[in-house]
Amino acid sequence: MRSSALVAVGVVIVLAMALSCGSADSSLFEPPSPGAGGSGGDASVSDSGGAGGSPGCPSTTPTRCGADCVDTTRNPAHCGECGNPCASGMLCEQSSCVLKACGVDGDCEDGLSCTMDRCQQGACTHTPGPNEGATACPTGSICVVGKGCVQSKVCQQASDCMDSDPCTANEKCDPSKAVCTWTPLDTDGDGRAPTICGGDDCDDAIAAVYTGAPELCDGLDNNCDGSTDNGATCGSAFAACQNGMCVCSADHACGADCVDKSTSQAHCGTCFHACPSGASCVGGQCKCPSGSLCAGGCVDLATNKDNCGACGHACPYASSCVGGSCKCPGSQILCSGQCVDAKTNPYNCGSCNHACTSQEQCSNGNCICNGTLCSGVCVNTTSDPSNCGSCGKVCTVGQSCFGGTCGSGGSGGSGGSGGSGAYMGIYPEVPLSCSPNQIVLFGACFP
């Protein structure tokens, strides 16, 4: 009884202090109406009401917290005591908040119509839904995770909505409804409020950490299950998470990559051996779906001009690859890697490497003599000392054949030294000294 009396006195003092502060209210929410039970008691404080629970509360929900009768052994908004909410995604079991495991979204139903309940990574998450449709709150109220639709404060201007609650941010006055609006505290910008504010973010300083987040290999408890890197994957079957870092096994490490060399396009069979365009790595070897694999990629050896018939066998300019062989256009033939016209080419006249002499001309694939045939040999009888002027006419020693006539040099004239074998040619005024087997042609010794 003495204990109850002391509590009553304390409540009276608190109420008196509240009345002395006037009507100022730092909360964004209007205070709820006190319940029927507990005369003179603070509506926000549990009234035990004796061994049978709070006055007016049934035995199944024996404790009054504000206007509600609750069971503090299992109520997530008042777990263990009034005003002690469990974080989003947690259950209240035997007066303690515990993480709720789930398999499907239906396992996470929190009984609040305005929240969106999801199962992520085996854990339940709850976020305020859009203020429309099934998740809409009545006019003048706002959705709060763990509480549902809560009456918001009436306002005329933004300053009416400023409060001292660190769990609210971006307090504004909605002029269309004349009520205060706000967003939950979210320091790291991951869209989730910290657990101390009723959210599911166990570390509001790191965006990659919140209930239901995928567990990464980073040395952090990303999904807030109390274990670091538990079940974290590294994106490769050949790497394992060790001390917050993905470590690749030595036989699969290629620089910064961790790969299967039997299938890796960039490391096929061995590190840094990349398969060319069109090829795939199969069993550690680069293979083409069709055609042959050459340095440039997958090609058709029957038609590829750079790899005609075999890799690296390129066809010459102006030719094409037909049936794995280089073909020249028209009547041209391929000789020594070049397309030539055998009808007119003096070095490949009629066939490859059949060359005409200097006195012959290739015509229609035959070497035609431009001079005179002497014993089957084409000669120029105007300059050939063995056939000078006609076949078989040989100039004597010291003579040269010029213009089909054998001639010899004379003594030099004034202004020049005569020379044996010198022939004046068609410029007698210019004496020249030529060798016995040379002739003077246009003022010069030939050949």
Q: Which residue has the tokens 């269309």?
A: 176
Looking at the DSSP assignment, which residues form a beta bridge with residue 440? Answer: 445
**Residue 57: what pLDDT?**
83
Does 304 score more than 90 pLDDT? Answer: yes
- What pLDDT is stored for residue 4 in this prediction? 38
Q: Which residues pair with 325 in a beta bridge?
A: 322
pLDDT tens digits, one per residue of 264-275:
999 999 999 999
| Res 311 pLDDT > 60 | yes
Q: Is the whole model's pTM more than 0.85, yes or no?
A: no
| CA–CA gap between residue 28 and residue 186 (Å, rounded) | 18
Q: Band the pLDDT of 441: cuts 50, 70, 90.
A: low
Phi-psi region of 121 (alpha: psi -120 to 50; beta: other; left: phi over 0): left
Residue keyed to tokens 């041209």: 332
What is residue 427's predicted lDDT score, i.e. its pLDDT?
Answer: 39
Residues present in the chain in total: 447
* Confidence bin at 437 (pLDDT 50/70/90): low
154: left (phi over 0), alpha (psi -120 to 50) or beta: beta
Q: What pLDDT score does 35 carry?
A: 36
Average pLDDT on 171-188 reads: 89
Indicate the range of 28-42, 138-152, 378-392 predicted with least confidence. Answer: 28-42
> How far is Cα 341 from Cα 103, in angstroms, rounded to an integer?
81
pLDDT digits (tens, 9 = 90+) for 217-256: 999 999 888 889 988 988 888 999 999 999 999 999 999 8
Whose CA is closest to 35, among 74, 87, 70? 70
Q: What is the pLDDT of residues 92-125, one digit of tens each?
A: 877 888 777 788 888 888 888 898 888 877 778 8
